[in-house]
Homo-oligomer: A and B are copies of this chain.
Amino acid sequence: MADHNALPLVILTEKFASLPGIGMKSAQRLAYHVMSMDMKSVEDFANALINAKRDVGCCSQCQNLTEREICPICGDESRDHSVICVVESPKDVTAFERTREYGGVYHVLHGLLSPMDGITPDKLRMRELLSRISAGGVEEVIMATNPTVEGDATAMYIANLLKPLGVKVSRLAFGLPVGGMLEYADEVTLYKALENRNNM
């Protein structure tokens, strides 16, 4: 914003613009919107920021975000603790929970291997995954990272680490999305769908 703008507004705009996916124009619009909110709502927003950062940490088992020592999923005795689904981020846990079909537990890596960006195995929560498996009781680890270069490389890396421990390691199936149209599928997806075809 130009220098005729009030400084507190310029600062707020910069804070919004520092968030991912929000450009300067959107940030300015959001800052003006805050001006139109009542003081109580603005205070609630500010407190929500502080509270989330202060009260939410990582589950000591699966590393998902939680305000407790052990998250509700890891603490749920009715779930199958012998199956661990390994995901990149907390939002992937939310995606799996939406299906209401998965009854095992999770492990959140908080990233994917990307040596070019300095993300080496020690930057991810791999040590915690290894110690969960070393503790025993785990029969299968499902690698559920995204089908991208980094996702595949991370899955492969972890699979190679885990296989000597005698645990079954599987990977999500890749193929046609349900409801998708053949003609719109890219070549790699179609090839995967063909390669992984099932008997009828």
Residues of A whose CB lies within 8 Å of any CB of B are 1-9, 11-12, 15, 19-21, 26, 28-35, 37, 39, 42-56, 65-68, 71-73, 89-91, 93-94, 97-98
Beyond A20-B30, A26-B21, A53-B42, whether A6 also contacts B66 by CB under 8 A is: yes
- Kindly list chain B residues whose C-beta atoms are within 8 Å of the C-beta of A54: 8, 39
In the assembled complex, the Cα of A56 lies from the Cα of B35 at a distance in Å of 8
- Bound complex: CA of A51 vs CA of B26, how far in Å? 20
CB–CB B12/A65 < 8 A: no
By a CB distance below 8 angstroms, the chain B residues around A35 are 52-53, 56, 65
Contact B65 A5 (CB under 8 A): yes
Q: Are B50 and A42 in contact (CB under 8 A)?
A: yes
A163 to chain B minimum Cβ distance, whole angstroms, is 30
Give A55 to B48 CA distance when docked, in angstroms.
21
- Whether the Cβ atoms of A90 and B11 lie closer than 8 Å is no
Closest partner residue, chain B, to A3 (CB atom)? B72
Chain B residues near A7 (CB, 8 Å)?
67
A6 to chain B, nearest CB (A): 4
A20 and B42 contact, CB distance less than 8 A? no
Residue in B6, B50, B71, B73 whose beta carbon sits within 8 Å of that of A65 in the complex = B6
In the complex, the answer to whether A56 meets B8 with C-beta atoms within 8 Å is yes
In the assembly, what is the distance between CA of A72 and CA of B45, in Å? 30
Give A30 to B181 CA distance when docked, in angstroms.
32
Contact yes or no, B44 A15, CB < 8 A = yes
Q: Contacts A2-B97, A7-B67, A97-B2 known; A31 to B52 CB distance under 8 Å?
A: yes
Chain B contacts of A46 at CB under 8 A? 45-47, 49-50
